[in-house]
Amino acid sequence: MLTPLIPIASGKKGPPFIKDWPNASLDVLEEAMKMHPGCNLGLRLDRFLALDPDNQKAATFLTQLEKKGKLPPTVSWLTWRGMQIRLYRRPPDFSPLKIVHQGMNLELRTGVGQYVLVPDSKVKTGQYKWAPHLSPADVDEAELPAETLDLLKKLAGNGPRPKTENGNQGEEIPKGRRNETLISIAGSLRRRGMTQDEIAAILLVVNQRCVPPLSEKEVRRIAQSVALYQPEEIVVNKDHSLIFPPEVLSGIAGRFAKTYAQYLEVSEPFLFMGYLTLLGHIFSDRVTLDSEIHPQPRLFTIFLGESADTRKSTAINKVTQFFREMISEEDLTLIWGVGSAEGLAKAFAAKKKILLVQDELKSLVQKCRIDGSVLLPCINTLFEGNRFQSLTKSHDIKIEEAQLCLLGASTLDTYQNMFAPQFLDIGFPNRLFIVISDNQRRFAVPPVMPEQVRESLRQDLRQLLRHVGLLSNGGLYAMPIDPQAMKIFSTWYFDLEKTVFAKRLDTYGHRLLSLVALNELKDRVTADIASKVLALLRYELEARRQADPIEADNAIAKVEERIRRVLSGGPLSKRELERRCHKNRSGTWAWNTAIRNLTSEGEVIFDRKTGAYALANCHQGCHQSGGDK
């Protein structure tokens, strides 16, 4: 049996339940595990060395070493992502290393203060399992050959990652968080009035903490994108620095969004993505990519924000009204809600293309949760394909050649709490393209848009309709992809992280490539179009992280998870924490119980000196770095 083992909350990678876990005795750890049955287990690496691949290239590299006889068989297990962790005896005086080499990202984890999850630990998307015939019952921990150890040291550059210019090593920024972190920092700097060059200079320093670092070109692209905004115009979510890529707000949809935003308190991202969703509905049977899979440019777009302040309903109403005035009923079919799969089938019997508009997404979710309803699998299936069939004793539902789009809205808090397990099990959230946005009050009474301005937007849409008419010529136009655009998209695809947040992002990429190209009146996907689509997909990846639905079995657990998420951004005063977590919606009893649970378990700490709550691991890190973490 491997020891010492550390108890960690089930479904989590950390922090451990015991604050002083690096120095805790076996008796203390065993007692803690008895108090937390069914918890996840972390193996303390005082006397072990774990080879932990962070991506597929690292996993392949280790497999090749194994085939060459440079990695002897040893205790091994598979992570929830299917990556194999190999456990060896710790070499004398060996320190942790990171290898970032030719796209490979490999961690050598060892020593006091290090641990790694072991079977049968569970995280949200899977479970850790012993590799076949390599459990502790099958083999012992082997010793890593000196030749292999020298090779790994050489690839790591004989040391850890470089320090930043101020000499502080700082917290590592792992793959999957690099763009989000740099964009967040860039937004903060821009709001203070810094120029593009000043932002780029600071980001290049911070980039040294990324594992692996982004290219200098990518870092400067982030600085350039953020600098396109005026300091007071940066579009961010209140609690998180999620910035909609400004370079994407171009073409006909971009002009529409920027124009309407001058007369309404509606964010440009809502208007832009609403416009693209309507275009995808109209052109779903006219344009596709030059690909064997023939993707239709259909979107399931959801606006998320505060109920009144973000004017989500206004965005939906204005975009749909504009198109209804311009497009015939033959090409534009909107239905404002659906109660059952039978009702949806009836609508498709009349029209093959439908845009389902749900001003309150929760109402659709509630209809899907009715016992015996097959509305959820129906909508889920029609995202990927064009047919659905369900035959039972009580009903015979058959939908053929259907093309479904979805445009809806919800508050962020409602979105995170309304999905039952069956929605998450079937993957409904990763079929949605969510847009999180905020806006400021600008008009007590919104001004009237001049008719000549409105007419110019109509002319834009007429021009686009003529453009698509010429391309499709009454049939289906397969849009080609330029070689450079294909190279850009392929690089992104093969480097895409394998997490639940990234699922079906490639599907949206295929659909957006043709849609964004049409928006700019192009007849092919160019490198510029591919870059804009990737900016949208990176935004969507981070938006999904922020809006990740809370998986909990009861109201208390949901409040606890909401508190964890809000505090992950840093310490907050009692009043601010209650405001951001919407204490009034939870109720005093549920709120107080959740706070008491988190503080008694040591997950959350209340600092009496500052009057602020903080996550335990954040609080310790802030204390160690003088509060400037």
Is the Cβ–Cβ distance between 613 and 622 less than 8 Å?
no
CATH number of the domain at 447, please. 3.40.50.300
Residue 179 has pLDDT above 90, yes or no: no
Instruction: Dump pLDDT digits (tens) for 445-498.
Output: 989 999 999 999 999 999 999 999 999 998 999 999 999 999 999 999 998 888
Residue 107 has pLDDT above 60, yes or no: yes
CATH number of the domain at 108, please. 3.30.2250
Same domain flag for 254 and 398: yes
Same domain flag for 456 and 587: no
Give the mean model confidence (pLDDT) for residues 309-323: 91
Same domain flag for 151 and 259: no
- CA-CA distance, 92 to 90, in Å (whole number)? 6
| Segment of 179-193, 237-251, 495-509 carrying the highest mean pLDDT | 495-509
Give the mean model confidence (pLDDT) for residues 292-300: 96
Identity of residue 226: V
Query: 400 — alpha (psi -120 to 50), left (phi > 0) or beta?
Result: beta
pLDDT band at 163 (very low <50, low <70, confident <90, very high): very low
Least confident range of 164-178, 249-263, 395-409, 602-616 = 164-178
Write out the E strands in 168-299: 173-174, 210-211, 287-289
Instruction: Dump pLDDT digits (tens) for 36-85.
Output: 888 889 999 888 999 999 888 888 889 989 888 899 999 999 988 788 99
Same domain flag for 272 and 347: yes
Strands 353-358 and 403-411: parallel
Please count the structural domains in the chain: 4
Residue 312 has pLDDT above 80, yes or no: yes
Residue 134 has pLDDT above 50, yes or no: yes
Strands 300-305 and 433-436: parallel
Residue 578 has pLDDT above 90, yes or no: no
Same domain flag for 345 and 207: no
Same domain flag for 527 and 559: no
CATH number of the domain at 568, please. 1.10.10
Residue 628: per-residue pLDDT: 35
* Cβ-based neighbour number of residue 139 at 10 Å: 16
Residue 242: per-residue pLDDT: 72
| Segment of 178-187, 370-379, 558-567, 583-592 carrying the highest mean pLDDT | 370-379
User: Would you say residue 164 lies in a domain?
Assistant: no
- CA-CA distance, 144 to 70, in Å (whole number)? 8
For CA atoms 341, 347, 352, 353, give the dihedral sign: negative
Residue 566: per-residue pLDDT: 83
pTM, 2 dp = 0.60
Helix H, strand E, coil C: the string for 200-213 is: HHHHHHHHHHEECC
Same domain flag for 77 and 182: no
User: Would you say residue 182 lies in a domain?
Assistant: yes
Domain boundary among 201, 233, 265: 233
- CA-CA distance, 16 to 32, in Å (whole number)? 10
Task: State the chain's maximal CA–CA distance in angstroms.
Answer: 79
Mean pLDDT over each residue of the chain, to the nearest integer:
85
Instruction: Dump pLDDT digits (tens) for 231-283.
Output: 655 544 444 457 888 889 999 999 999 999 999 988 899 999 999 999 999 99
Residue 158 has pLDDT above 70, yes or no: no
User: Would you say residue 166 lies in a domain?
Assistant: no
Residue 590: per-residue pLDDT: 76
Residue 307 has pLDDT above 80, yes or no: no
Domain boundary among 187, 208, 233: 233
Same domain flag for 202 and 270: no
User: Would you say residue 569 lies in a domain?
Assistant: yes
Domain range for 208 is: 173-233
Same domain flag for 570 and 447: no
pLDDT band at 171 (very low <50, low <70, confident <90, very high): low
